[in-house]
């Protein structure tokens, strides 16, 4: 599980949902975004940990055009562990370690090598909020 | 309508423990008593029914005081007009369905008996003996017999726990319809969330010694999950390598789920585990 320390910068309730934005301790400049089922009592400024499973983290290279995902952040490949079906990719994101598990076929298609610059992407509903 | 405030000693494996309960039910209200085994749910039903005396306290139904230990008042069970549905049916095995009901009537009334048989869909089975019935049918007889007493209060102790899951769901819906029809003030003991949400207007969550929470099932039993993930309690059955990850199989109740996990260092086969479910990603299909 990827766990990212962050500070809440926006909390919005509506339709039985909560939308939050948070600035990571890694200070990437772009917010992390999560949607939660239920109107939960969170306050701006609170310290939280955002969590996402490695298998929910997608990777991209040279991504262009618009995309709905707002958790889209540049990082560097620092580790590769390839199996016959799955590959675990370790990323350095402003000093924060992020892991992604993608298919080995996708890793080969992207031509992933250690030192490559990539983007990691997570849908907001796959990002959970844990209180710090 | 039903008001009680009492303290009673509950025997537990750790020794006697006092249970303090204050509850008030409105006319026609259905209240579920929910909590772990041994916390005193059935004992509370027995105290209300008059089958046991509280150590201390008062139980009143409307203007009638059923029990007041301070004034040494204790109305016997037969005077309380309480219908009691037991977990194990407790039918008379030597009586046909119709006779089981007739025996419970305060005064013989064949028309009312036929009404109850129709209400509980037992008319085609009226001449059968209990051993000729399925578990669900027997529990319908138990409910019909409790209603035949013309009670002012209905008590149901785990009425569905002896049934298999499919039958349980079907009978739960039937009981809900019957209770909706009769509009009786009802107290239901259950440790099953499906029973509580389907059958009860409010739920009292019992913990050792006290009522820990009281309110609608939604307010009491569906607390917000701060992280957007819901945790199910499971037991680890198997941890197997799956390429660069691990395939972990977990039992949740009588079902099993398998998931891929990168972090298994703290998981042990046979040990409890929390299975977190993302609220927006769960896929639901009628079973």
pLDDT score of B105: 94
> From the CB of residue A95, how many other CB atoms can be counted at a distance below 10 Å?
10
* The predicted structure's pLDDT at residue B270: 93
- B226, B243, B281 member nearest A83 (Cβ): B243
- SS3 string, chain A, reads CEEEEEEEEEEEEECCEEEEEEEECCCCCCCEEEEEECCCCCCCCCEEEEEECHHHCEEECCCCCCCCCCEEEEEEEEEEEECCCEEEEEEEECCEEEEEEEEHHHHHHHCCCCCCEEEEEECHHHCEEEEC
Instruction: State how far the Cα of A16 lies from the Cα of B118, in Å rounded to an integer.
Output: 42
Residue A132 confidence (pLDDT) above 70: no
Closest CA to B287 of B254, B260, B262: B254
Judged by DSSP in three states, B163 sits in coil
> Measured between alpha carbons, how far is B176 from B2 in angstroms, rounded to an integer?
21
pLDDT digits (tens, 9 = 90+) for A30-59: 899 998 887 888 899 999 999 999 999 999
From first to last of its 287 residues, chain B has per-residue pLDDT tens of 899 999 999 988 888 999 999 999 999 999 999 998 889 999 999 999 999 999 999 999 999 999 999 999 999 998 999 999 988 888 999 999 999 999 999 999 999 999 999 999 999 999 999 999 998 899 999 999 999 999 999 999 999 988 887 888 889 999 999 999 999 999 999 988 999 999 999 999 999 889 999 999 998 988 666 666 677 888 999 999 998 999 999 999 888 989 889 889 999 999 999 888 876 777 787 76
Judging contacts by C-beta atoms under 8 Å, the chain A residues touching residue B227 are 36, 51, 128-131
Of A54, A83, A131, the CB nearest to B226: A131
B260 with A101: Cβ contact below 8 A: yes
Domain positions in chain B are 2-221, 229-278
Enumerate the β-bridge partners of residue B231: B276
Angle formed by the axes of helices B110-119 and B165-182, to 10°? 130
Q: pLDDT tens-digit profile of B54-111?
A: 999 999 999 999 999 999 999 999 899 999 998 888 899 999 999 999 999 999 999 9
- State the pTM of this model: 0.73
Q: What is the tens place of the pLDDT at every residue in B153-177?
A: 999 999 998 888 788 888 999 999 9
Mutate to test the interface with B, among A2, A38, A39, A47 (most CBs of B within 10 A): A38
- State residue B232's pLDDT score: 83
Separation in Å, CA of B228 to nearest CA in chain A = 4
**What distance in Å separates residue A62's CA from the closest CA in chain B?**
26
Q: State yes or no: pLDDT of A85 exceeds 90.
A: yes
Instruction: Find the residue in A nearest to B278 (Cα).
Output: A126
Helix, strand, or coil here: B24?
strand
Task: Find the CATH number of the domain harbouring A47.
Answer: 2.40.50.100
As beta bridge partners, residue B276 has B231
> How high does pLDDT run on average in chain B?
91
| B263 contacts A83? CB cut-off 8 A | no
CATH number belonging to the domain at B229-278, selected among 3.90.930, 2.40.50, 1.10.260, 2.60.40: 2.40.50
Of B257, B226, B260, B220, the C-alpha closest to B244 is B260
Superfamily of domain B2-221: P-loop containing nucleotide triphosphate hydrolases (3.40.50.300)
Asked if A41's CB is within 8 angstroms of B224's CB, the reply is yes
All residues of chain B having their beta carbon less than 8 Å from the beta carbon of residue A81 are 244
The count of structural domains within chain A is 1
Comparing CB atoms, the residue among B227, B245, B281 nearest residue A101 is: B245
* Nearest residue of chain A to residue B227 (CA atoms): A129
* Interface residue ranges in chain B relative to chain A, Cβ cutoff 8 Å: 224-229, 242-245, 260, 262-263, 276, 278-281
Euclidean distance between CA atoms B79 and A70, whole angstroms: 68
SS3 B57: strand
Residues of A with CB under 8 A from a CB of B: 1, 18, 34-42, 51, 54-55, 81-88, 99, 101, 125-126, 128-131
Q: From the centroid of its chain, how far is CA A102?
A: 14
Distance in Å, alpha carbon of A17 to nearest chain B alpha carbon: 9
Residues in contact with B173: Cβ distance below 8 Å, sequence separation at least 6, in sequence order: B198
């Amino acid at each position: 599980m990827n766990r990212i320390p962050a500070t809440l910068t926006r909390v919005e309730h509506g339709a039985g949902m909560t939308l939050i934005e948070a600035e990571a301790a890694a200070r990437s400049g772009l917010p992390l975004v999560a949607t939660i089922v239920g109107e939960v009592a969170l306050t701006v400024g609170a310290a939280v940990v955002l969590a996402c499973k490695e298998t929910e983290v997608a990777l991209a290279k040279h991504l262009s055009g618009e995309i709905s995902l707002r958790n889209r952040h540049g990082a560097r490949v620092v580790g590769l562990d390839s199996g016959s079906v799955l590959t675990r990719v370790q990323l350095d994101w402003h000093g924060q370690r992020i892991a992604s598990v993608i298919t080995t076929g996708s890793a080969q298609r992207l031509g992933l090598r250690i030192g490559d610059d990539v983007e990691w992407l997570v849908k907001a509903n796959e990002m959970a909020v844990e209180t710090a | 309508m039903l008001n009680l405030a009492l303290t009673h000693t509950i025997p537990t494996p750790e020794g006697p423990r006092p249970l303090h309960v204050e509850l008030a039910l409105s006319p026609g209200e259905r209240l579920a008593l929910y909590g772990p085994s041994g916390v005193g749910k059935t004992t509370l039903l027995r105290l209300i029914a008059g089958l046991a005396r509280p150590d201390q306290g008062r139980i009143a139904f409307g203007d009638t005081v059923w029990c007041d230990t301070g004034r040494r008042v204790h109305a016997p069970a037969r005077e309380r007009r309480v219908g009691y549905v037991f977990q194990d049916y407790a039918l008379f095995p030597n009586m046909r369905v119709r006779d089981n009901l007739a025996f419970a009537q305060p005064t013989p009334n064949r028309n009312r008996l036929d009404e109850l048989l129709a209400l509980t869909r037992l008319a085609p089975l009226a001449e059968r003996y209990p051993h000729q019935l399925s578990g669900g049918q027997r529990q319908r007889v138990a409910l019909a017999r409790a209603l035949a007493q013309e009670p002012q209060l209905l008590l149901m102790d785990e009425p569905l726990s002896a049934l298999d899951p499919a039958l349980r769901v079907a009978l739960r819906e039937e009981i809900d319809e019957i209770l909706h029809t009769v509009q009786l003030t009802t107290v239901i003991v259950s440790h099953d969330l499906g029973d509580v949400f389907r059958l009860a207007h409010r739920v009292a969550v019992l913990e050792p010694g006290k009522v820990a929470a009281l309110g609608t099932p939604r307010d009491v039993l569906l607390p917000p999950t701060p992280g957007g993930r819901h945790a199910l309690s499971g037991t680890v059955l198997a941890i197997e390598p799956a390429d660069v990850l691990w395939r972990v199989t977990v039992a949740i109740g009588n079902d099993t789920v398998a998931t891929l996990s990168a972090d298994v260092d703290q998981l042990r086969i046979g040990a409890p585990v929390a299975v977190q479910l993302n609220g927006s990603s769960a896929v639901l299909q009628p079973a």
